[in-house]
Chain A
Amino acid sequence: MVELKNVQFRYKKKRVLFDNLTLTLYPGFIYGLLGKNGAGKSSLLKHVAGLLYPNSGECNVFGYKAQTRNPEMLQDIYVVPEEFALPNMSLAAYVKTNAVFYSRFNYEQLNSYLVEFELTDSANLSTLSYGQKKKFLIAIALATNARLLILDEPTNGLDIPSKSQFRKIMASALNEEKIIIISTHQVRDLENLIDNIVVLEHGHIIFNRNMAEISEKVAFEYNLAGIPDDEVLYAEELHGRKAGIVKNLSGHDSRVDLELLFNGIIKDAENIDKHFTNYSYEY
């Protein structure tokens, strides 16, 4: 479990970023961390990985205080950052030097992921494209069998077939023990993979809900003509028509349109969230 409790944080001399931020993440789920640029997504992920320390409050990962960077905790965390620098060495050599930090590292798994992503471990890292490097890091992340995976924009730079392979690999990797946090702007790539949507805005969590709950409570319409105003929670112009989020009164679960949902939350989280209150969804 990952638990942030009343986290207060500011970068030196800057205004407060996190003010009393509380968030709990449970094993067995993929969390989609969404937010505009500068909302605090990366800072939040850095707290979880023990790379930034809260000014006050706590950040606990599997029962350890993240900032103590206990080796037991660290071998259970793998972070694939959005930007990274890899040394000038072969894939195999890089794996060899990093695998030792993860007691459950599995070479067989790694090789199958590398095959899937069409990477050869004799190649030199410096000859790989950005997308190939990213796929390499994702393969390592999964092969570590770390229980907490933090993936920052994992589909950036991936070509179309690789995105599909990425989704397949993630679908097969999730189990009851794992917590996977994916921070992304590419919601279309990942909307069917995510269990829970967490939206961060100005350092606050303004929305945190399960996809099943969302599809039961709201629906997404691409032509709002004829829908009574009091059923519309959010509307926007789309190709000359009005699209939006409406109350789901049909009794059928809707398909969640993450892009529309995100736009609605950013514009008016309160109005949308109001429709969810006093409602809990049990898996």
Chain B
Amino acid sequence: MEFKDNQAIYLQIANRFFENILKGKWTSGDKIPSIRDMAVEFEVNPNTTMRTFNYLQDKGIIYNKRGIGYFLADDGLEKTIALKKEQFVEEELPVFFKTMSLLGLSLDDLKAYFSKYSNN
């Protein structure tokens, strides 16, 4: 996996988890690959993937069954959507709005682009 420049690796791996959840590759109650399997897949230190798992556990997206492994929480998808929405609104939208105002684009201009996108 090619890592981006500015975000900590464990968070970039968490984003890959979110993708799997949002695309429905992992669904509620599914056992997810182990900390070590993930470290091997991403070619990173297992202590790094452990931080990813701790982070997702803190967010209530995955849970640990002692000695068995990690599973996707029943409301894992809902929580993922909520978290990604929050990140989108707080981090991506301000940049987007800034570009809009720099280019002099209005909300109505966007609507036209959006309907074009939706029709495709």
Contacts and interface: CB of A to CB of B under 8 A. Distances in A.
Contact of A168 (B6, B7, B9, B40): B40
A219 interface: yes
A219 B40 contact: no
Interface in B22-54: 36, 39-48, 51
A172 B4 contact: no
Contact of B5 (A171, A215, A255): A255
Contact of A171 (B4, B9, B45, B51): B45
A255 B4 contact: yes
Contacts of A212: 47, 51
A224 interface: no
A167 B42 CA distance: 9
Question: Looking at chain B's contact residues, is the secondary structure mostly helix, strand, loop, or mixed?
Answer: helix
Interface stretch (A93-101, A188-196, A201-209, A233-241): A188-196
A254 B6 contact: yes
A105 interface: no
Interface residues of B, number: 22
A254 B8 contact: yes
Interface string A23-46: 000001110000000000000000
Interface residues of A, number: 25
Contacts of A168: 40-41, 43
Interface string A202-230: 00000000011001000110100000000
B43 A167 contact: yes
Contacts of B12: 255
23 contacts: A29-B47, A164-B43, A167-B44, A168-B40, A168-B43, A171-B44, A172-B36, A192-B3, A192-B9, A192-B42, A192-B44, A192-B45, A193-B45, A195-B45, A211-B48, A252-B7, A252-B8, A252-B11, A253-B10, A254-B8, A255-B3, A255-B5, A256-B8
Q: Which 9 A-B pairs have the closest CB atoms?
A: A253-B8, A167-B43, A171-B39, A192-B44, A171-B40, A168-B40, A215-B8, A172-B40, A193-B45
